[in-house]
Structure 1
């Protein structure tokens, strides 16, 4: 019987990326799992959606990542594929704050596994702005970390196709050229500018992809106590951590449920955050 440590050793895996995500994903997977990462230049992951919206994303975030991985398996005939997908949106609880959710999906056809690593972070420079001239363009660029972080310039925020979009702007000369050209062709005298969120042009996002990859590794190494299948992970959070003053249940997590996708075994773990009583400031009775 194979141990978890030997399930992936010396096996080939396709990493579905054209945006240099291998820089952070490959070292972790190769060191932790012993697999050999392969990049295919003929895999166009942009066909599954672009942040600049000239190509609509295929389905949900997870569905798009899954489609990338499945396409990689299809064109190579390999058994393991990894793909990632990011999303950017206003934070669900913090006004005026942007958030970045990264997922890294791991599919193993031989072992019938699908495991997803995740990272949710407010560490992002995701931003956009209408500009009227070079001065406003450079003001925006400075605010979002240019030139270490790339930029996109387009006629408007909903481009008809890629011909209206200038991507990968990471030098002053490229920025000046793109802004002048777009403004020259703009009927409104304005252009739309935004951060280029592709991984190779956004080191902040690349760090979040690295964190999602490490989360993936922790899930792969969490094996079911019953059948030893990797991916024994949290599928449910149960609220009700008691208040430290009145002991009434709060909205904080009291327990989590781990579940195996293969055999269905479930296990409850109390106090996953390491605290057994909630701060009274989190209690709707003590702090209404």
Structure 2
């Protein structure tokens, strides 16, 4: 029995995220998930640029959780917020960061789960139907839905939820007729229910959250005991200069001052291939 068992957390979403949160959390932690759709989360920001997101990814997730708690009158709230960026390795590939937050007002706790992975986030400017057909294949259509706009990505009107060839054809004709430049803009629909690749990453973030919820501080038994920092700088075996390889992980408590260090590897030196001085 833990502090989450048989308690109910609100989940505010319009985009089917309850499917993965409700699958993971009750079994892993005993926490029950109660869905509310009574607030339009698109008002807090859209991927299609109609509404900008104010604040950080964490700010947006926290706001959704707080609104959900107010709507259902509970002191427990869950929420998810995603972000699409360039990959952290080459800076060239589409990447998806997913954050799932749990707010427990009774125990004054805030725990976040996180997952980072490649994204299905293709987009293109198209002038001919044949080009759109080719794009749709690379965008994993129809399992991944599409969005089409006239002219460019900043056009205020769009057709979303495109999941069949007939819908794609009709959206293309509409956007072409309303384009000021003879081209249309097409992209993957990034809402969770429309993008299975993203939904799987939300699942992984939820699993990460569950693991943190089940990790208790050795000193005070508060959930959320997790890695707070990583020390890097394992010396290169060739030149002795510090590398980016990890030396220790520093675990810490969300409530008390307890912390501990965990050696990452037994290696004394890093391979020169990991050294920016030997292998710039």
Give the alignment's TM-score, normalised by structure 1: 0.92
**What is the deviation of 1:75?**
1.5
2:212 is aligned, of 211, 215, 219, to 219
**What is the deviation of 1:270?**
1.8
Q: Give the aligned partner of residue 180 of structure 1.
A: 173
CA RMSD of aligned residues (A): 1.6
Distance in 1, matches of 2:277 and 2:47, equals 44
* TM-aligned CA distance change 1:114 to 1:274, over 3 Å: farther
Matched, 1:153 2:148: yes
Matches within 5 A, 1:106-117: 106-117=102-113
* TM-aligned CA distance change 1:7 to 1:171, over 3 Å: same
Q: Give the aligned partner of residue 98 of structure 1.
A: 94
**What is the deviation of 1:238?**
1.1
1:143 is aligned, of 129, 135, 138, to 138
Matched, 1:11 2:7: yes
Matches within 5 A, 1:73-84: 73-84=69-80
**What is the deviation of 1:146?**
0.1
Distance in 2, matches of 1:113 and 1:270, equals 28
Ranges in structure 1 where 5+ consecutive residues have no aligned partner: none
Distance in 2, matches of 1:140 and 1:187, equals 21
**What is the deviation of 1:281?**
1.0
**What is the deviation of 1:159?**
3.2
Matched, 1:282 2:254: no
Distance in 1, matches of 2:240 and 2:82, equals 40
Give the alignment's TM-score, normalised by structure 2: 0.94
Q: Give the aligned partner of residue 125 of structure 1.
A: 120
2:159 is aligned, of 157, 166, 177, to 166
* Residues 40-91 of structure 1 deviation map (CA, whole Å, 9 limit, x = unaligned): 1213221111111111113111111110001101121101111111111111
Matched, 1:71 2:63: no
Distance in 1, matches of 2:168 and 2:276, equals 51
Distance in 2, matches of 1:264 and 1:119, equals 26
* TM-aligned CA distance change 1:79 to 1:196, over 3 Å: same
Ranges in structure 2 where 5+ consecutive residues have no aligned partner: none
Count of residues in Structure 1 that have an aligned counterpart in Structure 2: 279
Q: Give the aligned partner of residue 59 of structure 1.
A: 55
- Indicate if the aligned counterparts of 2:145 and 2:162 stay in contact, CA closer than 8 A: yes
**What is the deviation of 1:109?**
0.8
Distance in 2, matches of 1:287 and 1:228, equals 45
- Indicate if the aligned counterparts of 2:17 and 2:192 stay in contact, CA closer than 8 A: yes
3-state DSSP of counterpart to 2:248? strand
Q: Give the aligned partner of residue 242 of structure 1.
A: 235
